[in-house]
Amino acid sequence: MNDIENMITKQLLKQSYQIVQQDLLNTFQKMKNGDKIRLPNIGVFEKKFKQGKSCLPKTFGKKYTAY
């Protein structure tokens, strides 16, 4: 394979990874709490909702929730 074909292959591979990553991110964002997705040879990913509260002193009068 010459250098031009190698560059094209690297560009296509990079674009392919970006497309797959974007699709996977969209899938995770659309999942509901507790849903699972299985990826062959990698494992199972489960969407879990975790909620944290701020440690600000009560003098501020508000609690903030982070997702």
The 10s digit of each residue's pLDDT in 17-44 is 999 999 988 988 888 888 988 888 888 8
Provide the pLDDT for residue 65: 56
Give me the mean pLDDT over the 32-61 stretch: 75
24: containing domain: 3-66
Q: How many domains does the chain have?
A: 1
Handedness of CA 25, 27, 30, 32 (dihedral sign): negative
The whole-chain average pLDDT of the chain stands at 78
Strands (E), 1-67: 36-39, 43-46, 52-53, 65-66
Taking the C-alpha atoms of residue 17 and residue 20, their distance in angstroms, rounded to an integer, is: 5
Quick one: pLDDT band at residue 58, thresholds 50, 70, 90?
low
Provide the pLDDT for residue 61: 58
Q: What share of residues in the chain are helix, strand, coil (percent, to 5)?
A: 45, 20, 35
